[in-house]
Amino acid sequence: MKGQIEFFQEIGYQVVEYRGYFGHTYYAKRVPPLNWAHQLKTKWLLKRPIASLTSYATVLLKRPD
């Protein structure tokens, strides 16, 4: 997200890659209808990613010499 990228740049890092991940299995056995809705949302987000809606993410940073 823009604010996070700016933060890393301000402390001297370059964001090489941001990879967001969508979805989890929290609802799989406990609440099947909610799990179904969550799966639909995840499929939609995979086609139209929105960084602020990721379940988690990895960020690859580089510090210039």
Domain ranges of the chain: 2-62
Question: Which amino acid, 30?
Answer: R
- pLDDT at site 12: 93
Cβ proximity of 17 and 59 under 8 Å:
yes
Nearest alpha carbon to residue 39 among 52, 25, 29, 51: 25
Question: Which amino acid, 1?
Answer: M
Percent of residues in the chain assigned helix, strand, coil, to nearest 5: 45, 25, 35
Range list of β-strands (E), the chain: 14-21, 56-62
Q: If DSSP codes are grouped into helix, strand and coil, which group holds residue 59?
A: strand
| Segment 9-64, tens digit of pLDDT | 999 999 999 888 877 777 778 888 888 888 888 889 888 888 788 878 888 999 98
- pLDDT at site 33: 87
What pTM was computed for the model? 0.58
- pLDDT at site 5: 82
- pLDDT at site 61: 95
